[in-house]
């Protein structure tokens, strides 16, 4: 059973029949809507994570040169200036850059923060001086929607010193099967009875429509039917554009109790560096168990429901690839795997043989002195 969909959750940047230039124009124009910026600035987990990560690591910013890629209204640039940055180059391709300049002046940071109205691809660094830190809030739905990471990678390769730092420094995409009870109750089962009348003929039409594109929803943590699995991890210091163009992940997991799987939930975490090795990194998480963000979670609704008993093993292969017609969108393919498929190693599914192999591999890593990461 396969679900293969193209991400078109952002209609403002849907330009499959136009040129790449038109795609970019549409994309940047969409960010001239101040309501979009109000939504992002009002997202406390998002904005406070950046604020804490920057201000609690002043040594990484004090007297340093900083670049803010896609600065928007300039909030991250203001944080960097407050943290002691000597110079902040703020790059913004939309006309919101004109407002960002006014905000910078209004807060008396015009001697530190300089806002440039251009794409980072067209930016020329004054005096050919490289930067110490690159900050950017580039994440989209399921991390990669809008493909702004491509621009951040380009900025890193062109402008960041070899000793430089990326904020955030790491990012991970997670996936987990879900019963989607809240979604079904509100948007699908609603059609069973409407004001006392049988509207069930509409139900299947609505469900089929929902299966054609990713759904951006807030999923309750209680609706997850198994443990989450990592689909992909990115180290922002060395990830390449090729790394994000296409990738896939195969995993197996086991149901925690008798339940039903109606879809796959995707979310992401971002990790910020710390100046002291002994300190734990700050994590911005969009997981269902965490305070809600404007990213919510991304849901792939499966074409067929899967009934599960406690301990049942279920497997998936998830593939993401940039759309050939609009690189800011991704094709997302979810395939439900049969029990006969080979399991990846290590595997968190709970089968006895997988537990044994996983334990052996962890013991071997510990003997070799490698860090062991376990999210099961």
Task: Tell me, letter by letter, the H, E, C secondary structure of the chain.
Answer: CEEEEECCCCHHHCCCCCCHHHHHHHHHHHCCCHHHHHHHHCCHHHHHHHHHHHHCCHHHCCCCEEEEECCCCCHHHHHHHHCCCCEEEEEECCCHHHHHHHHHHHCCCCCCEEEEECCHHHCCCHHHCCEEEEECCCCECCECCCCHHHHHHHHHHHHEEEEEEEECCEEEEEEEEECCHHHHHHHHHHHHEECCEECHHHHHHHHHHHCCCCEEECCCHHHECCCCEEEEEEECCCCCHHHHHEEEEEEEEECCCCEEEEEEEEEEEEEECCCCCCCCCEEEECCCCCCCCCCCEEEEEEEEEEEECCCCEEEEEEEEEECCCCCCCEEEEEEEECCCCCCCCCCCCCCHHHHHHHHHHHHHHHHHCCCCCCCC
Task: Note the pLDDT of residue 366.
Answer: 64
Largest CA distance in the chain: 72
Count of all residues that appear for the chain in the document:
376
Task: Note the pLDDT of residue 277.
Answer: 61
Which parts of the chain sit beneath pLDDT 50? 10-14, 16, 372-376
Distance CA 14, CA 317 (A): 27
Exactly one of 146, 223, 229, 271 is catalytic; which is it?
146
Distance CA 333, CA 320 (A): 7
Q: Is 146 a catalytic residue?
A: yes
Structural tokens at position 233: 């991890």
Exactly one of 8, 20, 32, 137 is catalytic; which is it?
137
Task: Note the pLDDT of residue 14.
Answer: 46
Please answer whether residues 199 and 193 qualify as being in contact, where contact means their C-beta atoms are separated by less than 8 angstroms: yes
**Of 16, 15, 41, 39, residue with least CA distance to 29:** 15
Task: Note the pLDDT of residue 340.
Answer: 74
Whether the model clears a pTM of 0.75, i.e. scores above it, the answer is yes
Q: Which CATH class name applies to 20-355?
A: alpha beta
Q: Is 137 a catalytic residue?
A: yes
Per-residue pLDDT tens over the stretch 173-220: 999 999 999 999 999 999 999 999 999 999 999 999 999 999 999 999
CA atoms within 13 A on the CB side of 159: 29
CA atoms within 13 A on the CB side of 250: 9
Per-residue pLDDT tens over the stretch 115-157: 999 999 999 998 878 999 999 999 999 999 989 999 999 999 9
Per-residue pLDDT tens over the stretch 107-120: 999 999 999 999 99
């Amino acid at each position: 059973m396969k679900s293969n969909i193209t991400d078109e959750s952002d209609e403002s940047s849907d330009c499959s029949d136009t040129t790449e230039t038109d795609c970019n124009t549409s994309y940047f124009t969409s960010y001239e809507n101040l309501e979009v910026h109000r939504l992002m600035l009002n997202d406390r987990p998002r904005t406070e994570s950046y604020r804490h990560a920057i201000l609690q690591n002043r040594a990484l910013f004090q007297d340093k040169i900083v670049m803010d890629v896609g600065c928007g209204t300039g909030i991250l640039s203001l944080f960097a200036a407050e943290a002691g940055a000597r110079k902040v180059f703020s790059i913004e391709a939309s006309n919101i850059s004109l407002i960002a300049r006014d905000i910078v002046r209004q807060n008396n940071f015009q001697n530190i923060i300089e806002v440039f109205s251009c794409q980072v691809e067209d930016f020329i660094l004054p005096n050919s001086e490289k930067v110490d830190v690159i900050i950017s809030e580039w994440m989209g739905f399921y991390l990669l929607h809008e493909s702004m990471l491509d621009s951040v990678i380009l900025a890193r390769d062109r402008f960041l010193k070899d000793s430089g730092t990326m904020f955030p420094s790491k990012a991970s995409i997670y996936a987990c099967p879900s019963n989607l009870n809240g979604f079904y109750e509100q948007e699908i089962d609603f059609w069973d009875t409407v004001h006392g009348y049988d509207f069930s003929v509409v139900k299947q039409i609505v469900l089929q429509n929902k299966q054609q594109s990713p759904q951006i929803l807030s999923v309750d943590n209680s609706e997850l039917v198994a443990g989450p699995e990592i689909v992909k991890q990115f180290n922002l210091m060395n990830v390449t554009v090729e790394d994000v163009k296409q990738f896939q992940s195969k995993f197996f997991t086991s149901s925690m109790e008798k339940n039903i799987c109606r879809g796959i939930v995707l979310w992401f975490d971002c990790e910020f560096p710390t100046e002291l090795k002994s300190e734990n990194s700050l994590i911005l998480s969009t997981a269902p168990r965490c305070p809600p963000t404007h990213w919510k979670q991304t849901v792939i609704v499966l074409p067929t429901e899967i009934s599960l008993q406690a301990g049942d093993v279920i497997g998936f292969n998830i593939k993401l690839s940039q759309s050939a017609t609009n690189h800011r969108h991704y094709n997302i393919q979810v395939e439900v795997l049969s029990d006969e498929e080979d399991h990846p190693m290590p595997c968190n599914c709970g089968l006895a043989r997988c537990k044994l192999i996983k334990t052996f591999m962890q013991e071997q890593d510990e003997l070799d002195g490698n860090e062991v990461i376990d999210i099961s």
